[in-house]
Structure 1
Amino acid sequence: MTRYENLPTISGSASSQQLFTDAQTWSAYGAQWNSGEQKNLLCCDVHNETHDVKTFSFRCGDFSALSFEPGQFITVSPVISGQTLSRCYTLSSSPTRPFSFSITVKRVPGGIVSNWLHDNLRAGDSLKASGPAGSFTPVGHPAQKLLYLSAGSGVTPLMSMTRAGFDLAARLDIVFVHSTRTPADIVFHDELTRMQALMPGLRVLNVCEGRGAEADWAGPVGRLDLQLLSESVPDFREREVFTCGPQGYMDAIKAVLAKGAFDFQHYHQESFDIATLNEEPLIEQPPTAEQMETLFSITLSRSGKTFSMPADQTVLWAAKKAGAIVPSSCSQGVCGTCKTALLQGTVEMNHNGGIRQREIDKGLRLLCCSRPTSDLVLDL
């Protein structure tokens, strides 16, 4: 019971073992962790998936339930060398198991946060994270026949979707095609194999670029092309397609589907490049003298801070440069961490799915992808 030894006790519970048998625990600790909230997480387990991929399982410090849709992500914020760094990671677990959830992280060359997680995070450690976000989810796109296409770390949101379908005993027809380098790099291989044996509507196909050390690999070798797709999934045109992976992979998949006369009204892909997103946020260059000719005044209503900025810079960059503390992560309009109420003024915002229309209608904006078109007052 070591990994749970720090759990609180309730109503006279004498030990952590009783936490799981005390009915009052679940009612007292059943609050939800919703989008936009920051929580303190406890790492419960670290599991090696492959030689460079690990799954980190967590629970909320207050035992809240995580409310999310399969395919969404959380933003973790570890303190590394005295500095808080935030990165987005897709939840690989199923929302049907809300009290314990996981992210699956690939070690990235030069990736500060991914490498720190691999090298330092252990069961029993704590970590701050912001609540779930993202629009890459099958919720709102009901379909009986599904085709999941993934490569590399892009397997994680599709694994969450598959686990959810499995847990709910959903009567779905799912074909899950995952592309990877070698058989040794297949993430969730054993679990997907077991799920396939137990879930009548699930079929899994792994496509490897090479055999690596497994000379007896019997699966497809090479890259997914129209011929292989047509042979393996002859009814792919009848399916709702969800794809996630490096940008080059997703571009190639779109080309294959277009060649196969697929109707893209039934196509959905993650809107960011995972490898790029989990590196350092993009750094804007200081404004030029020409840009400085048109300045807007920005007022932060809570702190009273006021500063000026040019129209060609993002509000987030200018606010941080002025010393304002603004939660942020991806800097690409994806994660939603910098979502802030715009009290006065107007901005031009070009986001990548990190904010929903109903939030925009309420006056919220993503500062990382918003540029001023007038003087502004922000709820900061």
Structure 2
Amino acid sequence: MRLRASGPARIFSLPRAGRKKYLFISAASGITPSLAMTTYLYDRGTDIDVTFVHCAQRPQDIIARQRLEQMASRVPSIRLVFIVEQDDPYRVWTGLRGRLNQLMIGLIAGDYLEREVYCCGPEPFMDAVREMLIALGFDMARYHQESFGAPVRKEDQLPQHDDVIPDEEAAASIAFARSAVKASCTQTDTVLAVARGAGIVIPSGCTFGVCGTCKVRKTAGNVHMVHNGGISEEDIAEGYILACCSKPIGAVALDL
């Protein structure tokens, strides 16, 4: 059998010089480039500061787990975090469970704003990671991802992402219909903060998109909402949002 292979394009790769702090985020077989880059840093023997986050269906699905644990056991500045959705039968799992969310990113890497982020995995997974980082105020110029699509040779051939990034200088407004109140704001203000400033009471709890206490119905306009499980897809389809983690994009009206 003959196979045609081409060399790396060096687009999704580490810089040749300079010490940086890295956050590698991967899922499924997307662990491959993160594993290669971590191995390179380990073999080079220079200062290493890597937080390695990998998401899998079960612990048994974590690729190269022993190799990663071996490197981390010898270099304390390589920090491994595995997140699984299900346990292995008849084996105890003491790590994180569920799906990666904003809360986990903050707990795993409290200094994520200082890190260079490399992400690889299925497209929906990478879309979700980008949404989380944008909502957390991360500088997306320091975000890099590797898609499973056709290979590209130049950076201008990379696919363009239609991400919604709230602009702190862009004007927005929220109309509270039943209260006959309209408040001006910017795209980086949350609906909850604007409501409080306008004297509108919205019950709230966690203020991080988990508890669902601040659920309100949007009747017009668009918001950028990145929640952490506090609202169902059915509620979203019916126009509901979580005020604590929703930011108005332009003019928005609420049933309040």
Secondary structure, counterpart of 2:6 in structure 1: strand
Distance 2:61 2:99 in 1: 15
Structure 1 residue 268: Cα displacement: 1.0
Counterpart residue number, 2:158: 352
Quote the offset at 1:209 in angstroms.
1.2
Cα distance change on mapping 1:142 and 1:264 into 2, 3 Å:
farther
Could you say which residue in structure 2 is the equivalent of 1:167? 43
- Counterparts of 2:91 and 2:130 in 1: how far apart (Å)? 31
Per mean C-alpha deviation after superposition, the further-off stretch among 138-147 and 230-239 is 138-147
Give the structure, 1 or 2, with the largest relative contact order (CA under 8 Å, sep 6 or more).
Answer: 2
SS of structure 1 residue aligned to 2:5: strand
Q: Name the counterpart of 1:310.
A: none
1:256: how far off? 1.2
Instruction: Among all aligned residue pairs of Structure 1 and Structure 2, give the percentage whose two residues are the same amino acid.
Output: 34
The 3-state SS of whatever aligns with 2:157 is coil
Q: Distance in 2 between matches of 1:179 and 1:139?
A: 25
Q: In structure 2, which of residues 106, 109, 113 is the aligned counterpart of residue 237 of structure 1?
A: 113
- 1:139 and 1:165 mapped to 2: Cα distance? 11
Give deviations 1:143-172, integer Å, cap 9, x for gaps. 421100011111111111000011011202
SS for the counterpart of 1:179 is strand
Measured in 1, the distance between the counterparts of 2:74 and 2:66 equals 13
Say which of 67, 75, 78 aligns to 1:191.
67
AA aligned opposite 1:234: G
Cα contact 1:143–1:240 (8 A) shared by 2: no
Correspondence 1:13-52 to 2 at 5 A: none
- Cα distance in 2 for partners of 1:251, 1:128 equals 31
- After the TM superposition, which residues 209-358 of structure 1 pair with which residues of structure 2 at under 5 Å, given as runs? 209-270=85-146, 272=147, 274=148, 277=149, 330=150, 334-336=151-153, 351-352=157-158
The AA in structure 1 aligned to 2:86 is: G
**Secondary structure in structure 1 of the residue aligned to 2:41:** helix
Amino acid at match of 1:145: K
Aligned residues: 158
Contact 1:134–1:335, Cα closer than 8 Å, also in 2:
no
Letter in 2 for 1:260: L
CA–CA distance in structure 1, aligned partners of residues 142 and 129 of structure 2:
14
Give the Cα separation in 2 of the matches to 1:258 and 1:130: 34
Taking structure 2 as the reference length, the TM-score comes to: 0.57
Which digits, 9 at most, give the CA deviation of each residue in 1:172-196, with x for residues without a partner?
2100000110001000100100100
Change (3 A) 1:214 1:205: farther
Amino acid of the residue matched to residue 219 of structure 1?
A: G
Tell me if structure 1 keeps the 8 A contact 2:56–2:62.
Answer: yes
Q: How many angstroms apart in 2 are the aligned matches of 1:186 and 1:254?
A: 22
Distance in 1 of aligned mates of 2:75 and 2:89: 30
Distance 1:182 1:227 in 2: 21
* 1:240 alignment partner AA: E
**Quick check: 2:42–2:48 contact (8 Å CA) kept in 1?**
no
Please, what TM-score do these two structures have when normalized by structure 1? Answer: 0.39
CA distance in 2, matches of 1:214, 1:251: 34
Name the aligned partner's letter for residue 351 of structure 1. Answer: Q
Letter of the 1:235 partner, please give it: D
- Structure 2: distance between partners of 1:220 and 1:253: 17
Describe the SS at the equivalent of 1:135: coil
- TM superposition shift of 1:130: 2.7
Which segments of 5 or more consecutive residues in structure 1 lack a partner in the other structure?
1-77, 80-126, 278-329, 340-349, 354-380
Segment of structure 1 superposing worse, 208-217 or 194-203: 208-217
Superposed displacement of residue 215, structure 1: 4.4
TM superposition shift of 1:335? 3.8
1:206 lines up with 2:82 in the alignment: yes
Q: Alpha-carbon deviations, 1:25-52, whole Å to 9, x = none?
A: xxxxxxxxxxxxxxxxxxxxxxxxxxxx
Given that 1:183 and 1:214 are in contact with CA atoms closer than 8 Å, whether structure 2 keeps it comes out as no
The list of structure 1 runs, each at least 4 consecutive aligned residues, that deviate by more than 6 angstroms after superposition, is none
Query: Is the contact between residue 19 and residue 47 of structure 2 (CA under 8 Å) also seen in structure 1?
Result: no
Q: Distance in 2 between matches of 1:248 and 1:185?
A: 19
Equivalence for 2:241: none
For the structure 1 residues 216 and 195, does the alpha-carbon distance in structure 2 shift closer, same or farther, using more than 3 Å as the test? same
What's the offset of the Cα at 1:229?
1.3
For 2:78 and 2:110, the matched residues in 1 are separated by 15
